[in-house]
Amino acid sequence: MRSSLAPASLPPHDQAERSAVLLCNLGTPDGPTAPAVRRYLAQFLSDRRVVEIPRLVWLPILHGIVLRVYPARSAAKYGRVWTAAGSPLALWTARQAALLHDRLDAAAQPLLVRHAMRYGKPSIASQLDALQAEGAARILILPLYPQYSACTTASVFDAVYRWAGRTRNLPELRFVNRYHDHPGYIDALARRIETHWAHHGPPGQLLMSFHGIPERSLRLGDPYQREVRETARLLAERLGLRADRYRVSFQSRFGKARWIEPYTLPTAQALARAGVRRVDVVCPGFSCDCLETLEEIDIELRAAFLHAGGKEFHYIPCLNDDGAWIAALGQVAQQHLAGWPAAVPSGPSADARAGHAAQR
């Protein structure tokens, strides 16, 4: 009987077994074109964690309506934020992985660090294969989602489990579920905001906009909203903000179902109509700038706030390659790597080399 398990990508026998970190983000289309966006959305919206509608109901809608209508619209939006070097999300995620590698290396933890996308390229499976080929016997999965949700964090884990299900020689695996209240993360956010205010002064209102999820997800036990509220509370305390100086809202609603409220767009419009002249918006749940922050917030929300009577709109960029953020990621990684050696010689040739060295 033929086995369905894929052969392991084995390193040379004398290569040291190593520990690794796989930094995982949501993903991005290959380009700001309708065909590229269609491929991306087909993968993203086919995920059972993302759309929890029975397949018999959802798939005809997805392929018959959504993938016919949305790709061209979304491609135009991606075109507004695309850079000469490519997708902002892809660029920032790759840079975060490189800086995390340097950070851990400087801390005497010479680890392998790679990045992967849940949807799009490089895929989680391809990067896990690559890490095994480089000798990774222990891999920490670190999603770039500070707040846990089944539709984000758990979906990353699903992809890892699927890879594990077809892999014969499995590495040790560890997973980071959440770090929404990590002091380093909160401090990095606060410093980002304080730096902006040092140059522009404080606003009438600080709006903390997080990605939304369907309200039904909360009833099914998703802890996301609770963790969002905790992040916001800790950040406000760190900034010394009274409760009337900031708001928490949720963006990126998709479809007709009820999502967690308040929604970001009507919240900003209501502030403008209430006479708030200036609003500053920060997106603490996004690790790096992307379509949802650069287009949805800095372009669309800006226009809506000013049109509703607001006078001044400031978008405070995501943490991106901020030094305090990379330090926080390093702290999270080190906590979860505890007890794992960075590199352990493996195979008879490595033992032989160690013996020869001891005799000299």
CB 190 within 8 A of CB 239: yes
| Residue 359: pLDDT over 60 | no
pLDDT-derived band of residue 341, with 50, 70 and 90 as boundaries? confident
Instruction: Report whether pLDDT(347) > 60.
Output: no
Look at residue 356 in the predicted model and tell me its pLDDT.
38
What average pLDDT does the segment 7-19 reach?
65
Please state, as a whole number, how many other Cβ atoms lie within 10 Å of the Cβ of residue 80. Answer: 13
Residue 29 has pLDDT above 90, yes or no: yes
From residue 161, give the alpha-carbon distance in Å to each of 7, 125, 327, 332: 16, 10, 28, 22
What residue ranges define each of the domains in the chain, with the CATH number in brackets?
A: 183-316 (3.40.50.1400)
| Mean per-residue pLDDT, 1-22 | 67
Give the residue from 278, 273, 246 showing the smallest Cα distance to 262: 246
At residue 10, the pLDDT reads: 53
| Tens-digit pLDDT profile for residues 139-172 | 999 999 999 999 999 999 999 999 999 999 999 9
**What average pLDDT score do residues 334-345 get?**
79
Residue 54: which pLDDT band, with cuts at 50, 70 and 90? Answer: very high
224-239 vs 183-200: helix crossing angle, rounded to 10 = 50
- 274-328 pLDDT, tens digit each: 999 999 999 999 999 999 999 999 999 999 999 999 999 999 999 999 999 999 9
In angstroms, rounded to a whole number, what is the distance separating the alpha carbons of residues 185 and 149?
Answer: 18
What's the confidence (pLDDT) of residue 150?
Answer: 98
- In single-letter form, the type of residue at position 161 comes to Y
Q: Residues marked as binding for Fe(2+)?
A: 211, 292
Strand ranges of the sheet holding 278-282, from the earlier edge strand across to the other edge? 246-251, 205-211, 278-282, 312-316
Residue with tokens 């308040």: 262
Q: Considering the entire predicted model, what is its pTM?
A: 0.91
Torsion of CA 282, 32, 53, 150, to 10 degrees: -40
On the question of pLDDT at 353 being above 90, the answer is no
Residues annotated as binding site? Answer: 211, 292
Residue pLDDT, tens place only, 59-97: 999 999 999 999 999 999 999 999 999 999 999 999 999
The overall average pLDDT reported for the chain is: 92
